[in-house]
């Protein structure tokens, strides 16, 4: 159990490290160093940057040192919570993304929960009524969810909302709450807006989990221990719920590990289509404007949060599956 924990933790650390390298590469990729382009941008907008200031900036990011040292400097800055400045917004990156990051996480989690609420019962029903019309319908809907890229789904929903309800379904807040401070009313408003993007975001995952659930359950339902439970005189629906569903849940939980990255990825792109105040639109703008600090930080933080989420799902898996718990 401890070895399992340590192993998962090491993998999580490795992943964070890999993400930081990739992010650093992305920040470095555009031609020219970023301090130069930062200064150029500041000057273009009428600011005067003294040579001393420029020199300080360069030293701060270790531009006079080899790439590996620059990487170390960059990482240690981030560890201290200094994510650098956004060139486009002229504000510290940390300030810009705080709330947006929280909303991104919220959206991904809402989609995850919705995915479960939909996929679990539908998958179970589909499996125990295999080859029934309901099974075919559910399977087909799942496939549609899987096949329609979520940004297209978002597009269609936007169009429908606009066309038939005359409403803009984008955004996460009603206009009066967009800049309002947090309050109960604002939270409620958020909830009212959150379900639709979460549903769009969760469609593909629902289709995927549905198929997994159905296949797992069909596998499990034929196993001797299920027949044994039935032979004990247990009612059919209790047999199914207590044994195979319980077991089919394990791969379900273990899929969180890779559903989460997919959800976060998806949240970026549908946020852009639905103009949700998450990090998605900010990332796109930053990338198009080559505002690499902002973009890099977003990519890094999203990656790290995903890794944390995956790690938590690993812990959950350990908790529900005694076979992993007993592994020494």
- In the region spanning residues 212 to 271, those forming contacts with other proteins, defined by CB under 8 A, are 222-225, 227-236, 242-243, 246-247, 250, 257-258, 260-262, 264-266, 268-269
Smaller CB distance to other proteins: residue 66 or 166? 166
Q: Nearest approach, Cβ of 92 to other proteins (angstroms)?
A: 20
Smaller CB distance to other proteins: residue 213 or 302? 302
Residue span 142-161 as binding mask against other proteins, x where in contact by CB under 8 A, dash where not:
-xx-xxxx-xx--xx-xx--
Q: Nearest approach, Cβ of 151 to other proteins (angstroms)?
A: 6
Alpha helices in the chain (DSSP H): 2-28, 34-44, 51-60, 67-79, 93-128, 133-147, 150-164, 184-221, 224-231, 236-242, 244-254, 256-273, 279-288, 292-320, 322-326
Selection from 6, 7, 8, 4 nearest residue 309 by Cα: 8
Q: Is 141 in the site for other proteins (CB under 8 A)?
A: no
H or E element: which one contains 92?
strand 91-92
Q: Is 273 in the site for other proteins (CB under 8 A)?
A: yes
Smaller CB distance to other proteins: residue 123 or 303? 303
Q: Nearest approach, Cβ of 253 to other proteins (angstroms)?
A: 12
Smaller CB distance to other proteins: residue 156 or 185? 156
Q: Is 19 in the site for other proteins (CB under 8 A)?
A: yes
In the region spanning residues 163 to 182, those forming contacts with other proteins, defined by CB under 8 A, are: 163, 168, 170
Q: Nearest approach, Cβ of 24 to other proteins (angstroms)?
A: 11
DSSP string, 157-224: HHHHHHHHS-----SSS-GGGTTSPP-HHHHHHHHHHHHHHHHHHHHHHHHHHHHHHHHHHHHHHTSH
């Amino acid at each position: 159990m401890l070895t399992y924990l340590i192993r998962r933790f090491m993998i999580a650390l490795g992943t964070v490290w890999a993400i930081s390298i990739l992010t650093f590469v992305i920040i470095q990729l555009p031609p020219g160093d970023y301090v130069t382009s930062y200064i150029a941008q500041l000057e273009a907008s009428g600011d005067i940057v003294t040579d001393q200031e420029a020199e300080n900036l360069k030293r701060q990011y270790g531009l006079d040192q080899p790439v590996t040292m620059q990487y170390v400097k960059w990482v240690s800055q981030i560890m201290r919570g200094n994510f650098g400045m956004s060139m486009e917004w002229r504000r510290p990156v940390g300030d810009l993304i705080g709330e947006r990051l929280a909303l991104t996480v919220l959206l991904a989690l809402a989609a995850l929960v919705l995915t479960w609420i939909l996929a679990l019962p539908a998958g179970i029903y589909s499996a125990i009524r295999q080859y029934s019309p309901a099974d075919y319908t559910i399977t087909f809907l799942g496939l549609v969810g899987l096949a329609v890229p979520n940004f297209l789904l978002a597009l269609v929903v936007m169009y429908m909302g606009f066309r038939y309800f005359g409403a803009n379904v984008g955004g996460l807040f009603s206009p009066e709450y967009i800049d309002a401070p947090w309050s109960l009313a604002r939270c409620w408003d958020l909830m009212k807006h959150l379900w639709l993007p979460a549903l769009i975001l969760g469609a593909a995952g629902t289709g995927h989990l549905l198929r997994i659930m159905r296949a797992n359950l069909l596998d499990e339902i034929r196993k001797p221990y299920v027949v044994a439970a039935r032979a004990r005189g247990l009612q059919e629906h209790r047999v199914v719920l207590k044994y195979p569903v319980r077991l089919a849940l394990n791969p379900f939980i273990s899929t969180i590990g890779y559903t989460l990255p997919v959800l976060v990825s998806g949240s970026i792109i549908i946020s852009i289509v639905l103009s949700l105040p998450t990090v998605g639109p900010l990332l796109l703008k930053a990338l198009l404007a080559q505002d690499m600090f902002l973009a890099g930080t977003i990519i890094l933080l999203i990656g790290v949060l995903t890794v944390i989420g995956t790690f938590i799902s690993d812990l959950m898996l350990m908790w529900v599956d005694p076979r992993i718990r007993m592994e020494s």
